Chain A
Amino acid sequence: MTLIGIIIILLFLLRKAYYAWRRGLNTWRMDMHNHNSLREYLLGNGATEAEARRPFLRHALVRACRPLLAQWQQLVALLVLLFILIYLHLK
């Protein structure tokens, strides 16, 4: 029974992670397309390719994580429950 609970919680967390990753990737793609002038400005002023992409990476991370952070109580509760179930399962 505890194993089923662990699997359900893991699937739930994986689903959340998948949507966050997809949101971040979409934001990255859209930003690279719509705000390429920023990348060219940074490159044109001597930034490396990695430095020029940093604002896009930051924005993508923020967009990916914001909904997760907004539901942090739910995530913490699930993680606590997951650890309890793992403990009970291993005991």
Chain B
Amino acid sequence: MLELHNVTIGQLVRPLSVTLHEGQLLCVTGQKGSGKTTLLRALLGFIPVDGGHISIDGELLTPLSASYFRRQTAYVPQHISLPDGCHLPTGYLKLLTKAVEAHKQLLIVDESPKPLDDAEKQAVDDLLREAMKQGAIVVAVNSRITQNQVWL
């Protein structure tokens, strides 16, 4: 169970309280610069929250416990910049597929850096549904799925 209790981050994320159970999806939507990626980065423990707390299965996310949290997490960022000679697949769909196949407890998915065509959008939706079927808690920046949305 992922719980966000009165989470505030700077001026971007207002007090936000959400509880998500296994197999549930939270869609984060909002305009550019509204704090969607900031919220995801806070869930990963990369930035601290200014108020409230985040917990998984009752365990608080703190700078010390962040690495423990992240071992249970699969993360798909908007963009990965690679140094020369480093070879990793960086395509959005490839990263999402790999993340879903990792069968982690928590799947955190940022939005695609470029507009997706209809087939790609459908593939993203299918992969998110697949992750939910596996019992993962999914937090995704996605404006297509209208259920369980939170606007920032």
Instruction: Mark A residues whose CB is within 8 Å of B.
Output: 27, 31, 34-38, 40-41, 43-49, 55-56, 58-59, 62
Contact = CB atoms under 8 A, between A and B. Distances in A.
B70 A35 contact: no
Interface residues of B, number: 25
**A contact patch SS:** helix
A41 B44 CA distance: 10
B110 to A, nearest CB: 10
A41 B80 contact: yes
Contacts of A38: 80-83, 86, 88
B79 interface: yes
Nearest to A30: B83
Contacts of B75: 40-41, 44-45
Interface string B86-110: 1010000001000100101000100
Given A38-B86, A59-B86, A62-B85, A43 B80 contact: no
B80 to A, nearest CB: 5
A58 B82 CA distance: 12
B85 A59 contact: yes
Contact of B83 (A31, A40, A41): A31
